[in-house]
Amino acid sequence: MKIATWNVNSLRARADRVEAWLQRSDCDVLAIQETKCKDENFPWELFERMGYEVAHFGLSQWNGVAIASRVGLTDVERTFPDQPTFGKAGKDPVQEARAIAATCGGVRIWSLYVPNGRSLDDEHMPYKIKWLENLKTHAQELVAVDPAAQVALMGDWNIAPLDEDVWDIDLFVNGGYTHVSPPEREAFHAFESAGYTDVVRPYTPGPGVYTYWDYTQLRFPKKEGMRIDFALASPALAARVTGASIDREERKGKGASDHAPVLVDLAD
C-alpha cells in the first residue's frame, strides 16, 4: 500500500494537478492539507471518478484537511480529543479545520495541518505548542492502549526539526524566525519520545532535501527550501515501511503548490 501527504495550497485551484498526480503516483491514500474550501464546495467528483472515497473537514476559505482513499475509509474523526481552539484577544475562540482521521486499509491516517506560529511573540505560537502537545497526548494513548495500532500522523507540521531542514539556519535563528525555535522543535521531538518515527527521512537523507519552497524570491530554483512535511508512524506501522520519497518534480511548472507530495510505501 502507498500512502502520501500533500499540502496542496487550495484544492480547487490545483484540481487538475492533483488528479494527474494521483494517476501518475498510483497512491492508495492521500492526506491533504490546505484544501481552502468548505464541504459544500469541495470537489468530491474529482476523487470519486478515480475510485477514491473522501472525508473532508473545511469550515471556510482557510485551512481545510481531507483524506482520499481507494482502500476503504471508515471511522472518520474531525479534530482530535481536546484539540485547542483559537481566538484573537477579545474574540470568541473557534475550532479550526486542521485535523481529520480515518481508517484506510487497516491504517489510522491523520491528515494534519499544524498551526503556523507566525512569529515567536505572536499569540499563535502558544496555540501551536498546545495544539501539538494535545495531539501528542492522543497519539501516545493510541499506542498505549494497543501497541499493535497502526497510526500515521501525516501532514504539514510547520516545523523544521533539524538544522539541515532549512536552507540557511543562521538566517532563521539570528532573524528570530519560527519553525526552528526550541519550543517548536521540542514539541516535534516529543512525538519521537512517544514512540513515533519519521519514516521518510531514512530514505531521503541529507541537507538540501526539502518539501516546501516559498513562492517569493525564486526560492525553488535557488534550492532555498524547508523540510516541514512529515509522516510519523507508530511502531507497528513503521515496521511495515519499505520505502519513502519526496516528489520534488511536482513543485515544478505552472500552478504548482508550494509543497511537494511526500510518499510512504508499506508492505502488505
In this structure, are strands 241-246 and 65-69 parallel, antiparallel, or unpaired? unpaired
Q: Can you give the pLDDT at residue 118?
A: 81
CA–CA separation, 258 and 81 (whole Å): 30
In this structure, are strands 65-69 and 99-104 parallel, antiparallel, or unpaired? unpaired
The reply to whether 156 sits in an annotated binding site is yes
CA–CA separation, 216 and 109 (whole Å): 32
The x, y and z cell numbers of residue 222, run together, are 535557488
CA–CA separation, 229 and 209 (whole Å): 11
The reply to whether 158 sits in an annotated binding site is yes
For residue range 49-82, list pLDDT tens digits in order: 999 999 999 998 889 999 999 999 999 999 999 9
Q: Can you give the pLDDT at residue 148?
A: 97
Q: Can you give the pLDDT at residue 207?
A: 95
Q: Can you give the pLDDT at residue 87?
A: 81
Ordered by start, the domain boundaries in the chain are 2-266
The reply to whether 258 sits in an annotated binding site is yes
Total residues belonging to the chain: 268
Instruction: Name residue, grid cell 475550532.
Output: 95
* Residues in Cβ contact with 47 at an 8 Å cutoff, skipping those fewer than 6 apart: 22, 53, 54, 68
The reply to whether 7 sits in an annotated binding site is yes
Answer yes or no: are the C-beta atoms of 13 and 255 closer than 8 Å. Answer: yes
CA–CA separation, 132 and 35 (whole Å): 21
Residues known to be catalytic: 113, 156, 259
The reply to whether 63 sits in an annotated binding site is no
Q: Can you give the pLDDT at residue 113?
A: 98
Mean predicted lDDT score pLDDT of the chain? 96
Give per-10-residue mean pLDDT for the chain (268 aa): 98 96 97 96 95 96 95 98 86 92 98 91 92 98 97 98 98 94 97 97 97 95 97 98 98 96 97
In CATH terms, 2-266 corresponds, of 2.30.110.10, 3.40.50.720, 3.60.10.10, 3.40.50.970, to: 3.60.10.10
CA–CA separation, 117 and 41 (whole Å): 28
Q: Considering just the CA atoms, what is the radius of gyration of the chain in Å?
A: 17
* Residues in Cβ contact with 169 at an 8 Å cutoff, skipping those fewer than 6 apart: 163, 180
* Cα 101 → chain centroid: 12
C-alpha distances in angstroms, 216 versus 75, 92, 156, 186, 190? 40, 33, 19, 29, 32
The reply to whether 259 sits in an annotated binding site is yes
CA–CA separation, 141 and 151 (whole Å): 11
Closest of 206, 192, 185 to residue 238, by C-alpha: 192
Q: Can you give the pLDDT at residue 151?
A: 98
